[in-house]
Amino acid sequence: MTLTLRSEQQELARRTGVKELDYRRLCYKQSNSRQSFQGFNAASLRELTSSSSACFNITLCIRGERMSSLVRPPLGPRTSLASQALNTNPPSNQTRSGPPVTDAACAPFPSFGRPPRSPTSQLGRRGFNASLQDSCSRTVDQYPFLAVGKSALPNSTKSNFLSQGSERLAAPRSGKGGVEMSVATAPKRVMRTVKLSEVAGADLQQLLSRPRIDFKSIFDTVGPIIENVQKRGDEAVREYTAKFDGANLDDVVVKVSDLPDPQLDPDVTAAFDVAFDNIKAFHAAQKKTQALVVETMPGVQCRRVARPIDRVGLYVPGGTAVLPSTALMLAVPAGIAGCKTIVVATPPRKDGSIAPEVLYCAKKAGVTHILKAGGAQAVAALAWGTATCPKVDKILGPGNQYVTAAKMLLQNSEAMISIDMPAGPSEVLVIADGGASPAHVASDLLSQAEHGPDSQVVLVALPGVDLDAVRAEVDRQCDALPRGSIARKALEHSYIVEVETAAQATSFSNDYAPEHLIVNVEDAEDWLPNLTNAGSVFLGRWTPESVGDYASGTNHVLPTYGYARMYGGVSLDSFVKYMTVQNLSKEGLQNLGPSVAKMAGVEGLDAHRRAVTMRLADIESGR
Q: Catalytic: 516? A: yes
Residue 237: phi, psi to the nearest 5?
A: -60, -40
Active-site residue, from 440, 493, 516, 556: 516
Residue 166 CA to residue 548 CA, distance in Å, equals 37
In 3D space, the residue among 1, 29, 27, 5 whose CA is nearest the CA of residue 148 turns out to be 5
Calculate the alpha carbon distances from 317 to 224, 325, 371, 434, 587 in Å.
Answer: 21, 10, 12, 37, 56
Ranges assigned E (strand) in 69-223: 123-124, 127-128, 137-139, 145-150, 168-171, 179-184, 192-195
The C-alpha R_g of the chain, in whole angstroms, comes to: 32
Q: What is d(CA 20, CA 24) in angstroms, rounded to the nearest whole number? A: 13
As to burial, measured by CB atoms within 10 angstroms (0-12 exposed, 13-18 middle, 19+ buried), residue 198 is exposed
Contact at 8 Å (CB) between 457 and 471? no
Per the document, the length of the chain is: 623
Three-state DSSP state, 49: helix
* DSSP string for 457-490: EEEEEPTT--HHHHHHHHHHHHHH-TTHHHHHHH
What is the rounded CA–CA span in Å between residue 505 and residue 462? 8
| Distance separating alpha carbons of residues 544 and 136, to the nearest angstrom | 41
Q: Which residue among 283, 515, 545, 556 is the active-site one?
A: 515
8 Å CB contact between 344 and 329: no
Q: Specify the amino acid at residue 289.
A: T
Cis before 172? omega within 30: no
What phi, psi does 261 have (nearest 5°)? -65, 135
End-to-end CA distance of the chain: 97
Which positions are catalytic? 515-516
